Amino acid sequence: MSGYWAGILSILAINVIFAYGIFLPVATGQLNLGGAGFQALGAYTAAYLSAMFDLPVPVTVGVGMVVAGVVGFLIAFPILRTRGVYLVLATFAFAEVVAGTILNSETLGGAMGMSVPAFIDWDVPVIVAACVTLFVFYLMSTRFGLTMRATHDDEVVTDLMGVNIRMVQVSAFAIGGALAGLAGGLYAHSFSFVEIQSFNALVSIYVLLYVLLGGTQTAWGPLAGAAFFTLLPELLRTVLPQVKSFLAALVGIEGPVGPPDDSWRFVILGALTIAMMVLRPEGLITRTMLERLRFRRPSPSKEQVA
Amino acid sequence: MSAPLLSLRAVSKNFGGLAVISDVSFDVPQGSRTALIGPNGAGKTTLFNLISGVFAPSEGEIRLDGQAIDGLPSRSRIGLGIARSFQNIRLMPHLSVVENVMLGQQARAGSLAGMLTPLSLFGRSRWRREAEDLLDRMGLSTYPGEVVATLPYGIRKKIEVVRALVAKPKILLLDEPAAGLNDTETANLRDFLMTISQTGVTLLVVEHDMSLVRSLCDHAVVLNFGRKIYDGSTRSVQDDPAVLEAYLGTRQAGKARTQEADHVA
């Protein structure tokens, strides 16, 4: 496998795990715009443990995940007291606090970043991403998953049904934080280097986009969203010049032509994002869609009976 | 009359300076089908919110089976045996029918182990089977997998009752169960509620449809402007002067209005 595709697979797997980390609070009705903060906690914990103590990768990544999860649990109590746009701003501010702290820490390399000695190939993140996906599918099939989705729809009624909605919200937020930390740890070892600039606000926004555009109602959504946003720019990188020269050839122009060049793929990505918001406001994959797929199969036999 | 299951003692509720419920006391007898009626704005839904714990009463006491419940958090009340439906259907729109019903099992199934057991990952769990069986018995077997938002109004109303019922409550609070239903659907609903009542569940029903109240309920409490104006049999409720006045105005005013209407006609 070429280094290019190995890199793509690693980043896809990491993005899937990261997206699930944000999906859990979002499925409970809590928009988390602090994804990069949790990812940075996991990444820097893993990097520090690897660089300073030369610990094996499972330990560094595992500890990074626990640190992010515990921090998520602790900040969930004050942060989940806020609502709507204030919650979004509070989670965003949390990520900025993490970034600022790391930037000013000499132990963690400050603005210089840190090299991570232990390297992992693409297979490790892919296997972990598969396990995380199975875990989230399991979680969403339990009564805990049911109460998460119910809390998202109507907090007052969910409470009256006997659900401790605060416990559900805090757990979802903390488990989500741990998964984002796990994604960060894998990132650190996959790319052998961490710097705080790679955990900026844009990262938090992108991962929230994966989740919202993929669909927040089922565990398929983040998978679809992360895959779409990770693979499409790469696909456009090869497809776009071909389409361009094909169109140019149609009108009789040979040789190099002006824009749109390679960088225009992000313009196209942006346009597609808006189109998805208009056409599928509840996300690419919704429950109604899955139900239809499920009911389509037995229906021919029913018609035969009738 | 048997011992009261639910009793309210001098309950008041103020929102700021507005007294929505003033000094209301009444008993809901065990096994009864009690109607809570009154004109719009009389405080019926507020009373439901006090009993189910959405609000705390400003004064007074609410007892279930002799135990004071008004200090307890709202989420613990369904476990004690108080389940309710809502005036404007409040099912979870993104959940399927059976998932909505399974939510009603929370008080019985919400232990840590219960929370972490899959409901339908490998085959159907016993909770899912129980929910589907109950839907089946209530004549809703066609819908379990469907997302609630797509279903007709009358069906959603019934599902909400099933969701409350699956909690195995002692008392079921129903807020206008027949609102928006046609005559056939209302007759259906009455039979449905009678079946529930025969299983020993006490009913407290807010309802405007007086023919449903007369044919379903054996006991009525009437509120007007947050005060209780009648407490007794459903048979004599419409002859009670205070109730007539609350609904129609005084006899004199009523006559004058009729004459005026005749004159216009």
Residue B70 has pLDDT above 60, yes or no: yes
Contact B173, B82 (CB under 8 A): yes
For residues A97, A102, A107, A113, the Cα torsion angle rounded to the nearest 10 degrees is 180
Looking at residue B231, its amino acid is D
Name A24's Cβ contacts closer than 8 Å, sequence gap at least 6.
Answer: A136, A139, A148, A172, A173, A175, A176, A179
Q: Which of B140, B144, B137, B163 is nearest to B78 (CA)?
A: B163
| In chain B, residues 136-155 whose CB comes closer than 8 Å to chain A | 145-147, 150
Residue of B nearest to A286 (CA): B94
Here the ipTM equals 0.86
B195 vs chain A: nearest CA distance in angstroms? Answer: 23
Nearest residue to B220 via CA among B87, B33, B65: B33
Task: Give the residue with greater pLDDT, A198 vs B145.
Answer: A198
3-state percent helix, strand, coil for chain B, nearest multiple of 5: 40, 25, 35
- Please state the three-class secondary structure of chain A as a single string: CCHHHHHHHHHHHHHHHHHHHHHHHHHCCCCCCCHHHHHHHHHHHHHHHHHHHCCCHHHHHHHHHHHHHHHHHHHHHHHCCCCHHHHHHHHHHHHHHHHHHHHCCCCCCHHHCEECCCCCCCHHHHHHHHHHHHHHHHHHHEHHHHHHHHHHHCHHHHHHCCCCHHHHHHHHHHHHHHHHHHHHHHHHHHHCEECHHHHCHHHHHHHHHHHHHHCCCCCHHHHHHHHHHHHHHHHHHHHHHHHHHHHHHHCCCCCCCCCCCHHHHHHHHHHHHHHHHHHCCCCCCCHHHHHHHHHHCCHHHHHHHC
Where do we find the tokens 């894998």?
Answer: A186
Which tokens is B210 given? 């007086």
Q: Using a CB-CB distance cutoff of 8 angstroms, which residues of chain B are in contact with residue A163?
A: 75, 103, 106, 110
Write down the domain spans for chain B.
1-81+169-237, 91-167
CA B33 to chain centre: 11
Shortest distance, CA A170 to any CA of chain B (angstroms):
15
Distance CA A182, CA A120 (A): 14
* 3-state SS, residue A251: coil
Task: Name the closest residue on chain A to residue B93, using Cα atoms.
Answer: A153
Listed by number, the residues of chain A in 148-177 with a beta carbon closer than 8 Å to a beta carbon of chain B are 149-150, 152-154, 156-165
pLDDT score at A305: 38
Provide the residue type at B224 as one letter: N
What is the rounded distance in angstroms from the CA atom of residue A176 to the CA atom of residue A139? 12
Q: Please tell me what DSSP assigns to residue B176.
A: S
Q: Are B104 and B128 in contact (CB under 8 A)?
A: no
For A165-210, write each residue's pLDDT tens digit: 999 999 999 999 999 999 999 999 999 999 999 999 999 999 999 9
The answer, yes or no, to whether residue B257 has pLDDT greater than 60, is no
Residues of A in contact with B96 (CB under 8 A): 287, 291
In this complex, do A150 and B110 lie within 8 Å of one another by their Cβ atoms?
A: no
Topology of the domain comprising B1-81+169-237: Rossmann fold (3.40.50)
The alpha-carbon gap from B244 to the nearest alpha carbon of chain A, in Å, equals 35
**Å between A187 CA and nearest CA of chain B:** 30
**Residues A182, A43: Cα–Cα separation, whole Å:** 8
Per-residue pLDDT of chain A (306 residues; tens, 9 = 90+): 678 889 999 999 999 999 999 999 999 999 999 999 999 999 999 999 999 999 999 999 999 999 999 999 999 999 999 988 999 999 999 999 999 999 999 889 888 999 999 999 999 999 999 999 999 999 999 999 999 999 999 999 999 999 999 999 999 999 999 999 999 999 999 999 999 999 999 999 999 999 999 999 899 999 999 999 899 888 888 887 788 778 888 887 776 666 666 677 778 888 888 888 888 888 888 888 887 787 655 444 433 333
Distance CA A17, CA A10 (A): 11
Query: Is the preceding omega at residue A260 within 30 degrees of 0, hence cis?
Result: yes
| Contact residues on chain B for A155, CB-CB shorter than 8 A | none
- For residue B176, report the phi and psi dihedrals to the nearest 5 degrees: 50, 60
Contact by Cβ (8 Å): A102, A41:
no
Q: Are A253 and A241 in contact (CB under 8 A)?
A: no
Task: Decide if B127 touches A, using CB distance below 8 A.
Answer: yes
User: Tell me, what's the pLDDT at A302?
Assistant: 39
- Tokens 């705390």 — which residue? B56
How do residues B41-59 score in pLDDT, each as one tens digit? 899 999 999 999 999 999 9
pLDDT attached to residue A282: 87
Residue of A209, A187, A182 whose CA lies nearest to A31 = A209
Residue range B151-209, pLDDT digits in tens: 888 889 889 999 999 999 999 999 998 888 888 888 988 998 998 999 999 999 999 88
Compute the mean pLDDT over every residue in chain B, rounded to the nearest whole number: 88
Q: Which of residues 245-264 of B touch A (CB under 8 A)?
A: none
The total of other beta-carbon atoms located within 10 Å of residue A184's CB is 34
- Residues 1-60, chain B: which have Cβ within 8 Å of A? 52-54
B265, pLDDT greater than 50: no
Are A147 and B90 inside 8 Å of each other by CB?
Answer: no
pTM of the model: 0.88
Cβ–Cβ pairs < 8 A, chains A and B: 100
Q: Beta strand pairing status for B219-224 and B33-37?
A: parallel
First-to-last alpha carbon distance for chain B, in angstroms, is 49
Distance CA B82, CA B87 (A): 16
CA A179/CA A133 separation, integer angstroms: 11
Nearest chain B CA: its distance from A122 CA (Å): 30
For residue A111, the model assigns a pLDDT of 87
Query: Residue A104 corresponds to which tokens in the numbers above?
Result: 């000013």
C-alpha distances out from residue A91 to A76, A168, A170, A208, B153, Å: 9, 18, 13, 12, 39
> What is the distance in angstroms between the Cα of B148 and the nearest Cα belonging to chain A?
10
